Amino acid sequence: MHERIASPAFFIGKGDETLISFGSGQPDLPPPPAAYKVLEHFKSFKYGLVQGEESLRSAIAKEYPFAEPEDFVITNGASEAIDLAMRAIAQDAPGSKVLLPRPYYYSYPHNVSLAWMIPVYTDLENGKLSFERFVRDVEGCRAMLINSPSNPTGTVQDIEVLKKIESYCEERGIYIVSDEVYKDLIYVRENYLLHGKRVITINSFSKTYAMCGLRVGYLYTKDREVIERAVEMKSHTSMNTSLVGQAMALAAMGERDAYVASHAKIWRERRDLMYRGMLDLGLDLWEPEGAFYVLPKFKNPERSMHDLYYNYKIITYNGEWFGAPDRLRFSYALDTDKIHEGLRRVKEFLGKEYATY
Amino acid sequence: MHERIASPAFFIGKGDETLISFGSGQPDLPPPPAAYKVLEHFKSFKYGLVQGEESLRSAIAKEYPFAEPEDFVITNGASEAIDLAMRAIAQDAPGSKVLLPRPYYYSYPHNVSLAWMIPVYTDLENGKLSFERFVRDVEGCRAMLINSPSNPTGTVQDIEVLKKIESYCEERGIYIVSDEVYKDLIYVRENYLLHGKRVITINSFSKTYAMCGLRVGYLYTKDREVIERAVEMKSHTSMNTSLVGQAMALAAMGERDAYVASHAKIWRERRDLMYRGMLDLGLDLWEPEGAFYVLPKFKNPERSMHDLYYNYKIITYNGEWFGAPDRLRFSYALDTDKIHEGLRRVKEFLGKEYATY
């Protein structure tokens, strides 16, 4: 009898040579060399500004139109940025409802609950937000969380719909937390930056610069009250983000253009391989438009995940963890050889156990 | 008219050559050289274990009798460890009361409130916990937070009293969060490690290894439910603590004995100078037994703080921020020349403006 797989944490540390992991959502290629180079002369050790180093905030501000360094808080990855945003929103209104598009990134409902608010859902239609459905579901919500490009759907939301949601929320004072950590990984168009008085943009160095383990992210907002609350909270809950991480992040930004461009090619090749491969296997999935995930339908996804892992040495994530109980999530942050071999094994599985489900 | 000074944050970045800061509570001497040396070969970038690197947890476990690596969660400094501990305690009991000895470290009431619990207080008597008073004040509390050696009082609690509190809490299932970040800076005895089934020990690399800005701390507990809750929460609120910070922390530990011993002499010299200097000035204060703070009484401390800053270029912190409205906090994490000069200026102030209050 095999051990039951209850969450993504099950797979941590389960790495051997023959295993192919479509599990964890992190780039496999290293960060820009400058990120390591800066360590040679790194000598800081005293507390830094809780809001984040001025030099890093200034550099990031240049990437956003009309942004100022004061509009940013540097955080321990996007995760802390979301946590601070949620806690700032909940501060004078615990028990508020927060709308999450479903399927969602698996931490989101926890982020809402951990701030003592209540997650409610608006179901995507073919991976896309429907404005009509949104209007119905956002009723009574204090905030909404949007993640485009999306983990786990791999889809990108239509700009027209995003703009309508923006206006609707702006008029009613609903906060939009816009998690745009995959903004530099879009295959179908430029990123659309959501904006407005109560928009809180979340981003990080984890995906764009492959710095997941170094934990540098940020929140950006024109809402000064949110900035003040976030900085005040962070001064009690973690103080400044690691200065050595911030130094690496700033150095990485210096190589941004060449790095992002060279990686875009690699990601597109992987995406095409993965998407075509899955179509060839007869799987039903949305076309991946951004990030590095596909979310195909499976009969009995939990059993499929178990069989794929124990019998084919393939890691996939149960769609149920993301609010998609009829699907499996595959990350394609893998070199093409591994994707080929992974698809071959999935094909074998589909022809054997799966055919009997 | 001078700007009002509302919190410690006012002083951040206010550094010029002629200023003497008795404000910020951080070591001024650099970390062990090994902490920087390790950066030469640092190459990690992928997510690490949310609980913290196994190698670092194993090394820390050796410092605690009967401890195992599984008993630790590595965090973004002691601040995040306290935040996670409070949120873990509040998880199924929001609105619970948490007892804080007063004067307290200024973040503590916020740490409690941010976890949607309620801070209540037990007043120290001459800088010491009174067991009788504690028994009265802990009534109805779910947890207590102890900080010995204490910031801001500089006192160390009596071992007999700590043991009585330990037993009392153990019998009643009251959590003790024991913030021992100054455990390696005690002038009067060895540290007494509080222990018990529901004790959560907080520590960090900030004070012992002068790594404040690098943000590596941890919580240690034999309560597996607290560990599980903390790791689960952290997987949504910040993920692993920065891998580069953890690598520096592990390297620093290799030089622990020589580093701590050489610094003990320096701290003791500063303490003696500060304590005798303040007594010579006729100030009323508790003898500093640990950490690097004194908390002398002042008439009108807020006005004193303003006058000291604007007229004598001396930074001190208003005792009110720490629940001690009749005192000023002085940190003596400064070289002896500066302490001498600082005391000279305080003397001048006492003979002039202060004499007219």
Residue A142: predicted pLDDT: 98
Of B224, B254, B284, the domain-final residue: B254
Of A254, A286, A310, the domain-final residue: A254
Structure tokens at B296: 């002398």
Residue B13: predicted pLDDT: 75
Mutate which of A238, A241, A250, A334 to disrupt the B interface (most B C-beta within 10 Å)? Answer: A238
How far is the C-alpha of B180 from the C-alpha of B145, rounded, in Å? 11
Ramachandran assignment for A123, one of left (phi > 0), alpha (psi -120 to 50 degrees), beta (any other) = beta
Q: What percent of chain A has pLDDT over 90?
A: 94
A156 and A87 assigned to the same domain? yes
B2 occurs within a structural domain: no
A210 to B45: CB separation less than 8 angstroms, yes or no = yes
A47 to B212: CB separation less than 8 angstroms, yes or no = yes
Chain B partners within 8 Å of A334 (Cβ): none
Q: How many CB atoms lie within 10 A of CB A91?
A: 16
Q: What's the mean pLDDT in A116-122? A: 98
Of A209, A238, A254, the domain-final residue: A254
Residue B226: predicted pLDDT: 98
How far is the C-alpha of B35 from the C-alpha of B186, rounded, in Å? 24
Q: What's the mean pLDDT in A41-48? A: 95
Residue A125: predicted pLDDT: 97
A244 to B39: CB separation less than 8 angstroms, yes or no = yes
Q: What percent of chain B has pLDDT over 90?
A: 94
Given a cut of 50, the residues of chain B with pLDDT beneath it are none
Q: Is the peptide bond before A103 cis (omega within 30 degrees of 0)?
A: yes
A213 and A87 assigned to the same domain? yes
Residue B2: predicted pLDDT: 86
A2 occurs within a structural domain: no
Q: What is the pLDDT of residues A6-36, one digit of tens each?
A: 999 888 877 678 999 999 888 999 999 999 9
**Containing domain of residue B280, as a range?**
8-25+257-356
Q: What is the pLDDT of residues B137-149, one digit of tens each?
A: 999 999 999 999 9
A238 and A288 assigned to the same domain? no
B249 and B280 assigned to the same domain? no
Beta bridge partners of B75: B217
A201 and A112 assigned to the same domain? yes
Chain A partners within 8 Å of B240 (Cβ): 213, 215
A30 to B43: CB separation less than 8 angstroms, yes or no = yes
Residue A89: predicted pLDDT: 98
CA-based nearest residue in chain A for residue B75 = A238
A262 and A231 assigned to the same domain? no
N residues, chain B = 357
Q: How many CB atoms lie within 10 A of CB A17?
A: 5
B3 occurs within a structural domain: no
B148 occurs within a structural domain: yes
Mutate which of A70, A83, A215 to disrupt the B interface (most B C-beta within 10 Å)? Answer: A215
B79 to A239: CB separation less than 8 angstroms, yes or no = yes
A238 to B12: CB separation less than 8 angstroms, yes or no = no
pTM of the model: 0.97
B166 and B199 assigned to the same domain? yes
B154 and B108 assigned to the same domain? yes
Q: Which of B45, B116, B210 sits opposite A212 (nearest CB)?
A: B45
B95 and B236 assigned to the same domain? yes
A301 occurs within a structural domain: yes
Residue B160: predicted pLDDT: 97
B80 and B120 assigned to the same domain? yes
B1 occurs within a structural domain: no
Residue A85: predicted pLDDT: 98
Residue B326: predicted pLDDT: 98
Supply the CATH number for residue B73's domain: 3.40.640.10
Determine the 3-state secondary structure of B162 from DSSP: helix
How far is the C-alpha of A124 from the C-alpha of A110, rounded, in Å? 20
Q: What's the mean pLDDT in A250-260? A: 96
Smallest Cα distance from B353 to chain A, Å: 33
B39 to A236: CB separation less than 8 angstroms, yes or no = no
Average pLDDT across chain A, whole number: 96
Beta bridge partners of B314: B20
B114 to A237: CB separation less than 8 angstroms, yes or no = yes
Residue A260: predicted pLDDT: 94
Supply the CATH number for residue A344's domain: 3.90.1150.10
Signed CA dihedral, B35, B41, B47, B53: sign only: negative
B202 and B286 assigned to the same domain? no
Domain count, chain A: 2
Ramachandran assignment for B192, one of left (phi > 0), alpha (psi -120 to 50 degrees), beta (any other) = beta
Residue A103: predicted pLDDT: 98
How far is the C-alpha of A344 from the C-alpha of A341, rounded, in Å? 5
- The answer to whether the beta carbons of residues A177 and A39 sit under 8 Å apart is no
A343 occurs within a structural domain: yes
* Pairing verdict, β A175-179 and A199-204: parallel
A107 to B79: CB separation less than 8 angstroms, yes or no = no
Q: Which of A42, A212, A240 sits opposite B215 (nearest CB)?
A: A240
Residue B243: predicted pLDDT: 98
Q: What is the pLDDT of residues A61-89, one digit of tens each?
A: 999 999 999 999 999 999 999 999 999 99
* Pairing verdict, β B118-123 and B97-102: parallel
A1 occurs within a structural domain: no
Q: What is the pLDDT of residues B104-142, one digit of tens each?
A: 999 999 999 999 999 999 999 999 999 999 999 999 999
Q: Which of B48, B94, B210 sits opposite A45 (nearest CB)?
A: B210
A271 and A161 assigned to the same domain? no
